[in-house]
């Protein structure tokens, strides 16, 4: 994890914006993303969306290196959706609101599903991320 990201997470934890379990999951998510496709994830801002555990959003920069030319882009994501995406998300087709889209390999079938459906997927995906991180 980049030092700048660690500092943002430490500040959010100290300020009570995030809880230790959420910080641990974000760390596992970042480690998983960094192993995948040679990505570097840098978080610059994190916010709580509601009092519910893990209902966080964050923004920052992601850099991907395909072996030819690295490219960077700004991103923002909700922790729930980010964790689902980092997992083996096609297996959630039946839980999504758009199973045919997901079976066809279209991520938007997950992304555009209801928050209720995404929370159910997240409850499974977060265990996968933390166990295999």
Q: Which domain holds residue 97?
A: 3-132
Q: How many angstroms separate the CA atoms of 46 and 131, rounded?
A: 23
Q: What is the pTM of this model?
A: 0.85
Query: What single DSSP character describes residue 88?
Result: -
3 state DSSP class of 40: strand
Q: How far apart are the first and last CA of the chain?
A: 13
Residue 67 C-alpha from the chain's centroid: 24
Contacts (Cβ under 8 Å, ≥6 apart) of 6: none
Per-residue pLDDT of the chain (133 residues; tens, 9 = 90+): 678 899 999 999 999 999 999 999 999 988 888 777 677 888 999 999 999 999 999 999 988 877 777 788 898 999 999 999 988 899 999 999 999 999 999 999 999 999 999 999 999 999 888 765 4
- If one counts the domains in the chain, the total is 1
């Amino acid at each position: 994890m980049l030092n700048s990201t660690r500092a943002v997470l430490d500040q959010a934890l100290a300020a009570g914006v995030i809880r230790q379990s959420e910080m641990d999951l974000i760390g596992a998510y970042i480690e998983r993303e960094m192993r995948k496709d040679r990505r570097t994830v840098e978080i610059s801002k994190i916010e709580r969306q509601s009092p519910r555990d893990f209902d966080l959003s964050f923004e920052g920069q992601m850099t991907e290196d395909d072996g030819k030319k690295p490219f960077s882009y700004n991103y923002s994501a909700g922790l729930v959706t980010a964790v689902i995406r980092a997992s083996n998300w096609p297996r959630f087709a039946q839980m999504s609101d758009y199973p045919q889209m997901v079976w066809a390999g279209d991520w938007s079938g997950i992304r555009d599903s209801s928050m209720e459906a995404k929370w159910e997927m997240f409850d499974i995906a977060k265990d996968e991320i933390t166990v295999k991180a």
